[in-house]
Structure formats: structure tokens, C-alpha cells
Amino acid sequence: MLNMSRRDFVVTTGLAAAFGLNARLVVPAFAQKTPDPPKGFVNYKVGSVDVTALYDGIWEKPQDPAFIKNASVDETKDALAKAGLPTDFVSIPLTVVVLKLGDRYVMVDSGSGGGQWQPTAGKTMTNMKAAGIDPSKINTILISHFHPDHIFGLMEKGTNQPVFPNAELVVTANEYKWWTEPGRVEKLPEARKGLGQRIQTVFPTWKNFKLIEGDKEVAPGVQLINAPGHTPGHAAFLVGSGNQQLMISNDTAYVPGLLAPHPEWQGAYDQDGPLAVETRRKLLDRVIADKMMVCGAHFPFPGAGAFTKDGSGYAFKPVQS
Ligand SMILES: [Zn+2]
């Protein structure tokens, strides 16, 4: 379909019309409406720490009444419009950050792996190389949680071979134990069973996991902050250097265009909705009180910005790339 000639296109759309189909139906499902950023990596500093934001891609999620448990599609569209985003789909971009701490490279999550999550994502490795970072030099990968967009980049497509065999993988003990406990796959909802099966097949065979209990330092100047709700062991990471701090919030505030003005919204992606709301408010109140810069996996690329209080919710101001 992608290489079809103009004549083929006319014939195809003609056929579609003959069957009463909208011609748009013949456009490949992965045709992307949002342009990729002109440059797939952005560098910034937190004190003496070099941060590189790598663009993984975007999921242009079709509108779905089940997406937010306590908001309608119309309310979702209204929030998207107010954030200046398209309303015919939900923009869920994905950014991975790499920290350079002295001579150590610490990556947060792995990206979604080429063709393993969405066909319009999986560009982390390409953009890492473009940023001049050698993937074999990554010393540590801090994993926020075990959803596909955050861990599939750890595993080769098809073979599940480790992409970063020499890196130390750091995750909360809660997250690791929850997903790998016997009988878990059977208890997962149908849509998550494949993910659970892959985790249980692969991760227990890898020996480079370090499991963390409580809020601990996991790399020099980087503290793991337990932020449960999105998943049972979801974590944020707090980077401090000099008098600057960056809260790597991962999926705590998910898409801020939706959840900054409506922190009480419970997404279908939040495994424990009420706990996710409580954690979100706690984390955002903390970053505002301490005047921190914040980045998030699904914030608009390059994924960093600041929050302020706004009535009973929050306002998000992204940095410009
Ligand atoms: Zn995510």
C-alpha cells in the first residue's frame, strides 16, 4: 500500500467508493498525522548533570469512552482542545531520558522497541545514536514500571534477547514481584495477558535486576520515589545536582493536557485509579512546593516543564524544544 502508484490509489479508492466505504479507510492504519520533532534528541542540564531527551514516537490513540473512567469523550476532547492538541485522537508521545552522571550513563526506561508497541514509535535507539550516545555504554537502566511502552525496548523483537545485556536494571521490588508472581497471568485482564506472559518468560531468566524497597538512592544524586497507582510498583526518579532538581515523573501525570486540569481523572491505564489520583496530587504538590522542573514519559517532547496550582487542579507549562 505504501508504494502504490497514483493509478493504484485511484483504483483502490474507486473500489472503496463502490462498496460504500469512506476512501480514508484505505489509508494505512499507521499513517501518522503528527509530525516528528525536527530533531529527535534534546540536551539540557540539571546542575552538572547532562540530560538527553530521546524521542521514541507517538501513539495517536483513537477516542474511546473507556479511556478515562470518570470523563466522557466530549470532556476529553474539550481538555485536549484547551491544551492546543488535536481532538480527533489522543496524542500520547513517548520520550526517554538519559542522564550523564560523571562518566556513567543512566537511562530511564527503554523506549518501546521498534515495532513492538505502536508502528509510529520505537525510535529511541535511532535517536540515541544520533545524540552520540553509544547504547553499549549505558551502565544502568532505571525502570519506572512494566508497561510495554517502557520495557519493550529492553527486548529484541521475536527473540526477547536483551538489548542492553551489560546494564544493571533497577526496579521496585513491588513491581517485579507483582508481575512475576505465580498465577499472575491468569488474573490479568485479557488485554494484559500477553504482556504478563512475556514478562514471566523473560525477566526471571535475566540476572541483572536490582530490586529496590522504599525510597532509595539508585545512582549518584538520583533517588527512587515510590509512586504507585498507575501500576503497583510504579516509580518516579528525583535528580538533584547543585541547587537544581528534576522530578522524572514517568506516568504519574501521564498526558498533562488531560491530567493537569483534571488530576482526579482515572485512566483505564491506571491499574488502581484512586491510588493513582492520590499519588499524582502528592507528587505534583511536592514539585510545586520545591520549584522543581518535571519531565514525564508522555509529556510533549522534549518532555519537560513546570507545574503550578490552578484552582483544584494544576497548570502545565512545557519547555520549548
Ligand atoms: Zn507509559
Digit-coded pLDDT (tens) for 65-92: 999 999 999 999 999 999 999 999 999 9
Give the separation between CA 235 and CA 225, rounded to whole angstroms.
6
Q: Which helix (H) or strand (E) holds 314?
A: strand 313-318
Q: What are phi and psi for residue 114, nearest 5 degrees?
A: -55, 120
Q: What is the Å distance from ligand 1's center to 165 Cα? A: 23
Q: What is the Å distance from ligand 1's center to 111 Cα? A: 9
Q: What is the Å distance from ligand 1's center to 233 Cα? A: 14
pLDDT given at position 4: 34
Q: What is the Å distance from ligand 1's center to 226 Cα? A: 16
Q: What is the Å distance from ligand 1's center to 245 Cα? A: 22
Q: What is the Å distance from ligand 1's center to 280 Cα? A: 14
Please report how many Cα atoms fall inside a 13 Å half-sphere around the Cα of residue 231, on the Cβ side. Answer: 25
pLDDT given at position 30: 63
Residues constituting the chain: 321
SS3 197: helix
pLDDT given at position 319: 84
Q: What is the Å distance from ligand 1's center to 94 Cα? A: 7
Give the separation between CA 200 and CA 195, rounded to whole angstroms.
9
Q: Which helix (H) or strand (E) holds 16?
A: helix 6-18
Contacts by 201-205, CB closer than 8 A, 24 or more apart = 201/160, 202/155, 202/160, 203/176, 203/179, 204/180
Mean pLDDT of 131-157: 98
Q: What is the Å distance from ligand 1's center to 231 Cα? A: 10
Q: What is the pLDDT of residues 168-210, one digit of tens each?
A: 999 999 999 999 999 999 999 999 999 999 999 999 999 999 9
Q: What is the Å distance from ligand 1's center to 4 Cα? A: 34
Amino acid at 78: D
Q: What percent of the chain has pLDDT over 70?
A: 90
Which residue in this structure is represented by grid cell 512545557? 318
Q: What is the Å distance from ligand 1's center to 89 Cα? A: 17
Is the CB of residue 208 less than 8 Å from the CB of residue 149? no
pLDDT given at position 177: 98
Q: What is the Å distance from ligand 1's center to 22 Cα? A: 32
Query: What are the Cα distances from residue 43, in Å, to 58, 219, 249, 282?
Result: 20, 20, 18, 28
Give the separation between CA 201 and CA 229, rounded to whole angstroms.
24
Q: Across the strands, what pairs with 59?
A: 92
Q: What is the Å distance from ligand 1's center to 298 Cα? A: 7
Q: What is the pLDDT of residues 304-314, one digit of tens each?
A: 999 999 999 99
Q: What is the Å distance from ligand 1's center to 147 Cα? A: 6
Angle separating helix axes 190-202 and 173-180, nearest 10 degrees: 110
Give the separation between CA 194 and CA 199, rounded to whole angstroms.
9
Q: What is the Å distance from ligand 1's center to 16 Cα? A: 36
Nine-digit cell string for 148:
510495554
Nine-digit cell string for 19:
462498496
Give the separation between CA 296 and CA 306, rounded to whole angstroms.
11
Neighbours of 130 (CB within 10 A): 14
Neighbours of 131 (CB within 10 A): 16
Q: What is the pLDDT of residues 282-310, one digit of tens each?
A: 999 999 999 999 999 999 999 999 999 99
Q: What is the Å distance from ligand 1's center to 14 Cα? A: 40
Q: What is the pLDDT of residues 97-141, one digit of tens each?
A: 999 999 999 999 999 999 899 999 999 999 999 999 999 999 999
Instruction: Please list, in sequence order, all residues whose beta carbon lies within 8 angstroms of the beta carbon of residue 26, skipping any fewer than 6 positions away.
Output: 1, 12, 13, 16
Q: What is the Å distance from ligand 1's center to 307 Cα? A: 19
Q: What is the Å distance from ligand 1's center to 8 Cα? A: 38
Q: What is the pLDDT of residues 4-34, one digit of tens each?
A: 333 333 333 333 333 334 444 444 556 899 9
| Angle value at C-alpha 199, between 194 and 205, nearest 5 degrees | 140
Q: Which of 292, 313, 291 is nearest to 248 (CA)?
A: 292
Q: What is the Å distance from ligand 1's center to 112 Cα? A: 9
Greater pLDDT, 320 or 24: 320
pLDDT given at position 151: 98
Q: What is the Å distance from ligand 1's center to 88 Cα? A: 20
